[in-house]
Amino acid sequence: MKNLIISFCLVVLIAALHSCQSPTSQEKRYVRHEMHSPEAVPHIQAMEKALRIMRSKNCIDPLSWYYQGAIHWVPDTIIPNQLCDAYHQPGDLKEGWDNCTHTQSGQEQIHFLVWHRLYIYHFEKIVRNLSGYKDFALPYWGYTNSGADCKLLEATFRDPKSSLYEGCRFDSLNRGYPISGEIERALYVGKLFECTDYRSFNLNINAAPHGAMHDYIGAGNDTSGTLKFNNPITGTITNTGIMGWVPTAGFDPIFWMHHSNIDRLWQQWTNSRNGQMITIEELKSAH
């Protein structure tokens, strides 16, 4: 079923990508802004409003925060499940859940960028609908940019009263300290943009900055595994935070800003002298 869903989505996305190369004047254009910029303020406000509504919805409602997070992945077993009494084990999976490309076999990794572009594209539509802000576009966290402010977690995501806050993150970020230490090496994208084929670019960006930032947001530069967090998704103690573990990563609202930046970097590479448009044939070759 997963392969069928991905194949169908690829056909839709590739067609959309090619049709958007020469947009007409009638087409609606959405602009994603760096999340610390003044232009991003109404978009973050809209997302905060939408997430507040999404968090209030039952977990089996496709527009709920839980349902959208579980589309990316959800732990195999959660007993008891304090957040979703309709899910406890794999037999309870709902339509579309557990569907991202980070499988143990690695067979579907070539779909990484494409799958997540579809994922955040549909999330944007949900936020527009629930917030009422029809111009909403996901801001991106420009941690790969050179500006000092870009190394900080935006204030709304650090406010415990905000629907965008998550306590199961590296506390340094939630306390307003900038990204620092070993992670900074993974945020350099110069070598990444030397890739001349999609497969290599996809593989390398998946590792860094993508995977590296997931780990950092979850548990900082810690490699000892000694940090302890109360994971609200599993109801257990974790040493990865929510973002540092694939089965729970989609439940932290910062996930969307992180992937908006990854999607931005992909588009920048596609537009560069080394970049190229992905093809159906390339994606099919992995199966």
Residue (of 252, 250, 56) closest to 168 by Cα position: 252
DSSP string, 84-112: -TT-SSGGGPPTT-S-SS--TT-TTGGGH
Distance in angstroms (rounded) separating the CA atoms of residues 285 and 158? 43
**Nearby residues of 56 by Cβ (< 8 Å), 6 or more positions away:** none
Q: What is the pLDDT of residues 67-125, one digit of tens each?
A: 999 999 999 999 999 999 999 999 999 999 999 987 766 667 889 999 999 999 999 99
Q: Which segments of the chain does DSSP mark as H helices, in order? A: 2-19, 41-56, 65-72, 112-131, 155-158, 171-174, 183-186, 198-205, 212-219, 246-249, 254-271, 280-284
Residue 236's H or E segment, with its range, is strand 236-238
User: Helix crossing, 41-56 with 112-131: angle to 10°?
Assistant: 90
Model confidence at 39: pLDDT above 80: yes
> Are 132 and 31 within 8 A, CB to CB?
no
Report yes or no: 13 and 111 within 8 Å, Cβ to Cβ.
Answer: no
Residue of higher predicted confidence among 188 and 227: 188
239-283: pLDDT as tens digits: 999 999 999 999 999 999 999 999 999 999 999 999 998 888 888
pLDDT at 105: 64
pLDDT at 192 over 60: yes
Mean pLDDT of 13-19: 47
Task: Write down the pLDDT at residue 15.
Answer: 45
Q: What is the pLDDT of residue 16?
A: 45
pLDDT (average), residues 164-188: 97
Q: Is 229 helix (H, G, I), strand (E, B) or coil?
A: strand
Task: Give residue 4's pLDDT.
Answer: 39
| Residue 237, H or E segment | strand 236-238
Rounded Cα distance between 220 and 179, Å, is: 9
Domains in the chain and their CATH numbers? 2-8+34-284 (1.10.1280.10)
Q: How confident is the model at residue 25 (pLDDT cuts 50, 70, 90)?
A: low
Mean pLDDT of 54-75: 98
